[in-house]
Structure 1
């Protein structure tokens, strides 16, 4: 039987960190030859840290070659969402090859693993979740596990670029063909894009899909700051449109609005976002303002669904994300689209409340 795409959704307060760690440990435990890991934020404590360390050491002991990339250094003003601070001491304790990727000026924002890329049974782990206790217990996130020789080769190519250069700039400058997968016996067409090389294309692809939607649209993102996406959503407010629901992080968008008010180049975006978020059916999660020691309970899932197409991965609907190292997975599948719609609708129902404009 052909292996199926696997999807896990995380909700705030719905699962212990040990459960998610167990899923990651099982993925690592199946490795036979290689693991290439690109993780933006790795900062685990307690039992989940012990679980991951033990799994990595066990893989190393059976001859699995492991390399790990992580993001470091961001001297500029804190962006929204804020940058990570990977636990370099914990990374060193894993005893594997590791390399910091400078997040200056743009972040290494991936959260993927390529497992056994050159074997007969390669898999990719990707999605929106970082490897932290709060990411696994207090945030909305999605994890995808993809069995595919072609996708593994594409993610491996991206990893190799980052590993060789040690920098975000210049990576992802290629156009990749769609590949065939299955989800519970149904066919899936999958396509991945990497930024910064195809960052502008990511934003325009999502906007174009929304503009040509026939039946349904779901938007779930911590922030919505990409101009082309904001403009397309604005067009929906002036004409009949398919069924729509959206979710964002209210606290983070309030911070963004404050930044836009003093940015002469983004003056149009604040009114545009307020018009979109108050005219279209949006829900928003009130989260804890960021500090290094605060709980990180962001609405962190990055999902757009248009008709039977799912677009998800590490990419926020943000202008800054176009220049980061990100991946956007495009999945054409009615059953997967239904699954993701149900998740977004559950998040929408949980956080439905008066719009952001009421807080002005």
Structure 2
């Protein structure tokens, strides 16, 4: 008998032994996969999964890991896809849930998960930028703040001043004494203030010393970076709970000079999830931190819910390095059906580079700007060599963003934004303390698109920087025209001439915006043999944006005014 035949018989004997000695062996070859929370409401949600075991689906659940509430099952048997709905739940409450499959002989258990119901909060989301936007790409949405470091700083102080019970802060670096003064005042007025900062020589945190603040400060993750930039205000309140996060450190450079984004979300459930993360690092649920139980970096566990219904939007939340955040960012890239735009400080993760290259090869329209193109392991040279439309930042200050926009030009797809403190690097994925939000919403995607197009045109010196897809206007969709339109002179003293090809007798509406997105004027122009004369009517030098529109077409131009 040949050797291969002997091996086959030996393998079969092992297999039969396992079946008779361990009857549950066969069921162990089945798995509960692709577990997903859907239809999240205030008193219910669904869990769905895939499993090839033909049996009844159910879950055991509770407010603790003991799953003390009980079992919810369904008699409906599916061959592959299964789902169970949990009812009679409490709003803004977290539940431990473990799915199972039962076939009358044995029970197959899935992974224990942690899930949130919807809150009764307003779900308001405020998007803030510090260096201006391109309003020509607006679908009617306007950022809460579109420019000005002073505006960002004042908004942080305003939120601190409005707090009534608690303020929890995880911010990498803080040199703004005005913010610390506001925190001292809040603490002295009875608000519990807890603060975590980065431990290490890379940050001064000058505002937190000399004098020392009146609230406790924990310096965390000495081995790597406590790189978060988040604040939680009044987490237990339904309508006053806020989460503030983004890419912006609380320093003069990051607020007033570098390019950054921030986002504030009014939602009790999300705020409580951030408190869980905060207290894992704080080591305590009390006013004072505990160095013995405090966890940072790779010590942390995946212990928060990840999917939320915030004002009717699906919002995903992930903390690093415990939550496999890179996998979630990669999934977001692969969800693109039309376009991806991104601004990133550092980009070194190979799987995210491969995902971007694969989307490019599949026909996705990608546009990206990257700051640290020479980081060790940088994806820049490889991606540009693969044809990905990625530019090196040429601003004199730092592009500090860490955001991606998916399908802003495809409203009927799943438009989303990835943002937070997490660079696309191994340090962020495996060692640093970071937070990331993935917000599924067309209007939020449009707000970030307005910021991106401003940066894209700056890097391209306002030459051939129109993105090759449409956005929705305030009333209806119009075609982004590729017909030639010439606007001159550019730069200008304010007087412009517009020449169009093959556009005779059409009424034109022209709108002028400044770099903050403010509409300065709107008027209908009369046709003059295909040539139009126009006065911008501005007295201050700077970059201005023109939206030129007929009933069916739109042109977007930027001009420099020198006075």
Relative distance call for 1:10 and 1:178 in structure 2 (3 A) is: same
1:86 aligns with 2:239: no
Relative distance call for 1:30 and 1:88 in structure 2 (3 A) is: closer
1: CA distance, partners of 2:132 / 2:197: 25
1:343 aligns with 2:468: no
Runs of 4+ aligned residues of structure 1 deviating over 4 Å after TM superposition are 12-16
* Among 127, 144, 156, the residue aligned to 2:275: 156
Relative distance call for 1:157 and 1:247 in structure 2 (3 A) is: same
1: CA distance, partners of 2:185 / 2:123: 25
Partner of residue 425, structure 2? 318
Deviation at 1:110, TM superposition (A): 0.5
Partner of residue 195, structure 1? 320
Deviation at 1:42, TM superposition (A): 1.0
Partner of residue 356, structure 2? 233
1:213 aligns with 2:336: yes
Relative distance call for 1:93 and 1:31 in structure 2 (3 A) is: same
* Among 15, 23, 38, the residue aligned to 2:155: 23
Contact 1:172–1:194 (8 Å) recurs in 2: no
Partner of residue 100, structure 2? none
Count of matched residue positions in the alignment of Structure 1 and Structure 2: 310
Deviation at 1:219, TM superposition (A): 1.6
Deviation at 1:231, TM superposition (A): 1.3
SS class of match (1:189):
strand
Deviation at 1:168, TM superposition (A): 2.3
SS class of match (1:154):
helix
Deviation at 1:88, TM superposition (A): 6.4
Relative distance call for 1:115 and 1:301 in structure 2 (3 A) is: same
Deviation at 1:89, TM superposition (A): 4.9
Greater share of helix:
1
Deviation at 1:281, TM superposition (A): 2.0
Relative distance call for 1:64 and 1:315 in structure 2 (3 A) is: same
Relative distance call for 1:209 and 1:21 in structure 2 (3 A) is: closer
Deviation at 1:144, TM superposition (A): 0.8
Deviates more, 1:215-224 or 1:53-62: 53-62
2: CA distance, partners of 1:22 / 1:90: 21
Contact 1:227–1:319 (8 Å) recurs in 2: no
Deviation at 1:172, TM superposition (A): 4.5
Partner of residue 133, structure 1? 252
1: CA distance, partners of 2:458 / 2:222: 34
1: CA distance, partners of 2:130 / 2:164: 28
Deviation at 1:320, TM superposition (A): 1.4
Partner of residue 11, structure 1? 131
Deviation at 1:236, TM superposition (A): 3.7
Larger Rg: 2
Deviation at 1:118, TM superposition (A): 1.9
* Among 390, 393, 406, the residue aligned to 1:285: 393
Relative distance call for 1:214 and 1:194 in structure 2 (3 A) is: same
Segments of structure 2 that go 5 or more residues without pairing to the other structure are 1-120, 134-145, 284-293, 408-414, 462-563
1:243 aligns with 2:350: no
The TM-score with structure 1 as length reference comes to: 0.79
Partner of residue 174, structure 1? 303
Contact 1:202–1:322 (8 Å) recurs in 2: yes
Deviation at 1:102, TM superposition (A): 2.6
The TM-score with structure 2 as length reference comes to: 0.52
Deviates more, 1:306-315 or 1:171-180: 171-180
Deviation at 1:156, TM superposition (A): 0.1
Deviation at 1:24, TM superposition (A): 0.8
For 1:170-197, what per-residue CA distance to the aligned partner results, in whole angstroms no more than 9, with x for missing partners?
Answer: 2251352422223xxxx31111001110
Alignment RMSD: 2.4
For 1:45-104, what per-residue CA distance to the aligned partner results, in whole angstroms no more than 9, with x for missing partners?
Answer: xxxx2x223311221222101011001126xxxxxxxx4332265375332111100331
Contact 1:125–1:144 (8 Å) recurs in 2: yes
SS class of match (1:93):
coil
Could you say which structure has the greater relative contact order, defined with CA pairs below 8 angstroms and 6 or more residues apart? 1
Contact 1:223–1:316 (8 Å) recurs in 2: yes
* Among 192, 205, 212, the residue aligned to 1:65: 192
Contact 1:72–1:86 (8 Å) recurs in 2: no
Partner of residue 113, structure 1? 231
Relative distance call for 1:298 and 1:116 in structure 2 (3 A) is: same
For 1:14-42, what per-residue CA distance to the aligned partner results, in whole angstroms no more than 9, with x for missing partners?
Answer: 85543322111001011000101001011
2: CA distance, partners of 1:207 / 1:340: 19
2: CA distance, partners of 1:17 / 1:223: 23
2: CA distance, partners of 1:3 / 1:177: 16
2: CA distance, partners of 1:8 / 1:117: 21
